[in-house]
Amino acid sequence: MSQTELFSAPSVPPTPDRQAGLERLKAFTPLMGRRYATQRNFDFGPEDRSNISMLSAHVRHRLVLESELAQAALNAHGLQAAEKFIQEVCWRTYWKGWLELRPSRWSEYKSELSQALNALGEDDALRRRYEAACEGRTGLDCFDAWVSELMQTGYLHNHARMWFASIWIYTLELPWVLGADLFLRHLIDGDPASNTLSWRWVGGLQTAGKTYLARASNIEKYTGGRFTPDAGALAHDAPPLDPALQHPAPQTLAAGETPDPDAPSLLWIHEEDLHAESWAAEKRDVRAVVYQAGPLPRGELALGACASRFTQQALEDGARRAGAHFGYTAQASAHIEDVIDAARSVGAKQILTQRPAVGPGLDRMPPYRAKLAQAGLTLIELRRSWDAAFHPYATKGFFKFKSAIPTVFDQLSLN
Ligand SMILES: Cc1cc2nc3c(=O)[nH]c(=O)nc-3n(C[C@H](O)[C@H](O)[C@H](O)COP(=O)(O)OP(=O)(O)OC[C@H]3O[C@@H](n4cnc5c(N)ncnc54)[C@H](O)[C@@H]3O)c2cc1C
């Protein structure tokens, strides 16, 4: 059977709502087995994404859940045949867990980024090279095409992301944090953990002794000959970057907070988790639903248009479904004061939300918690059982983490 008979893949990611994500999941499920394992590394271009799911933006905002991808793969293929697909889904979880245990890597990224942005103001030559890269004017056809694809669709194939990051660091010799920032702000799946740690991995900051070098022959092979870069135009080696700081040992995972079962509650939905129907909040006395009114900034510079649009529509879809599920019209909240007003108007004493992963969502929680406390409101950050079960295994490398997949699946009753 041909690829197109099996799955006719749209050239752009599916619409930012759960329904479209579930349809995509259903259509891609037959391909999650051996075919995914052998074909996933090919970047056939934006017109043909039939070999990969393109569900990352939905999963990143939890319009569709990791457990739903895993269960679909298990049902259709079993753990062995769908091993590769399931492992890829678990890479996201691993990166999130790894950063959760080591939040100082996120603080380090932010301060290095600030310094690099300042340096652009002081070093004209650096700024010109940076602008040429961001605008796809480097003269390297493949790189310039990926910039254009990123700006137009908010998406790049995994292999293209690896080549892009490697060329950025080793051929264009630009600071890695500026490239990571460009991705984070423009990718519709822009995710602090997967993005920062993948860039660190390419630059040799993540795994001792490992860097990633983009090779002309590899680009030609895995783009099916769409690009044939001149080997002489690309860097020939990839020495590890210097780690900036010594970091503390991994911290222990904070336990999820337990709500007061009888307290009148307000549900607060944000872009990190847009499936409130599975927060098990029906057991609580929910009096109102509010949602984050617009996308959060992901850095000092502006959020890309595709990422902004995707997140906005995803938020509205999450709010609509949560409102329908709990029997209220969800109210938009642009500031924490809106959450406080909404809670007061219905007599809520407790704010229920999902704990954001390390990144901009979590950064704003301490001041929010303090303001809520001043207003007599308790903030309860719930934690999904998927995260709670997997994250403690993110203490070392992915090899150890992936060996825990069958145990965790048993624990989560995924089989
Ligand atoms: C430099 C760099 C930056 C990246 N930045 C991000 C980012 O900001 N956000 C993001 O979601 N992913 C990021 N990735 C990981 C990966 O490229 C994307 O998750 C993947 O390309 C998404 O496409 P897909 O949904 O078709 O994946 P599929 O191949 O269909 O995989 C299924 C699911 O597994 C997960 N997944 C697959 N590959 C990876 C991976 N390498 N790491 C983590 N999870 C993975 C995703 O949730 C994905 O939806 C980055 C990778 C690199 C090399």
Residue nearest to atom 23 of ligand 1 (CA): 54
**Is the CB of 146 within 6 Å of ligand 1?**
no
**Is the CB of 191 within 6 Å of ligand 1?**
yes
Return the DSSP state at 170.
I
How far, in Å, CA of 265 to CA of 234, rounded? 57
Return the DSSP state at 189.
T
Distance of CA 415 to the CA centre of its chain: 25
Q: Does position 5 have pLDDT exceeding 80, yes or no? A: no
110-145 pLDDT tens trace? 999 999 999 999 999 999 999 999 999 999 999 999
Q: Does position 226 have pLDDT exceeding 70, yes or no? A: yes
How far, in Å, CA of 222 to CA of 233, rounded? 18
Tokens of 325: 């599920």
348-398 pLDDT tens trace? 999 999 999 999 999 999 999 999 999 999 999 999 999 999 999 999 999
**Is the CB of 194 within 6 Å of ligand 1?**
yes
**Helices (H) and strands (E) in the chain — how many of each?**
20, 5
Would you state the pLDDT for residue 373? 98
Task: Out of 14-18, 211-215, 335-339, pick the least confident.
Answer: 14-18
Decide if 266 contacts 343 (C-beta within 8 A).
yes
Would you state the pLDDT for residue 252? 86
Would you state the pLDDT for residue 1? 37
CB contact set of 80 (below 8 Å; sequence gap of 6+): none
Quote the mean pLDDT of the chain.
95
How much distance in Å is there from the Cα of 158 to the middle of ligand 1? 6
How much distance in Å is there from the Cα of 59 to the middle of ligand 1? 10
**Is the CB of 183 within 6 Å of ligand 1?**
yes
pTM recorded for the entire structure: 0.97
> Domains of the chain by range and CATH?
3-100+391-411 (1.25.40), 112-233 (1.10.579.10), 264-383 (3.40.50.620)
- Region 248-262: mean pLDDT is 86
How far, in Å, CA of 132 to CA of 253, rounded? 42
**Is the CB of 60 within 6 Å of ligand 1?**
yes
Q: Does position 211 have pLDDT exceeding 80, yes or no? A: yes
Residue nearest to atom 35 of ligand 1 (CA): 89
**Is the CB of 32 within 6 Å of ligand 1?**
no
Decide if 292 contacts 315 (C-beta within 8 A).
yes
How far, in Å, CA of 290 to CA of 269, rounded? 6
In 239-386, which ranges are E strands?
264-269, 285-292, 331-333, 350-354, 378-382
Give the pairing type, strands 285-292 and 264-269. parallel
- Region 162-181: mean pLDDT is 98
Residue identified by tokens 């298990």 is 74
Mutate to test the pocket of ligand 1, among 83, 143, 194 (most ligand atoms within 8 A of CB): 194
- Region 306-313: mean pLDDT is 98
- Region 81-110: mean pLDDT is 97
**Greatest CA separation for the chain:** 68
Backbone φ and ψ for 332, nearest 5 degrees, come out as: -75, 135
Higher pLDDT residue, 252 or 205?
205
Task: Out of 3-7, 203-207, 343-347, 352-356, pick the least confident.
Answer: 3-7
Task: Give Cα separations from 289 to 99, 320, 324 (angstroms).
Answer: 30, 10, 10
Query: What are the beta bridge partners of residue 264?
Result: 285
How much distance in Å is there from the Cα of 49 to the middle of ligand 1? 14
Decide if 163 contacts 213 (C-beta within 8 A).
no
How much distance in Å is there from the Cα of 328 to the middle of ligand 1? 35
Binning pLDDT at 50, 70 and 90, where does residue 255 land?
Answer: confident
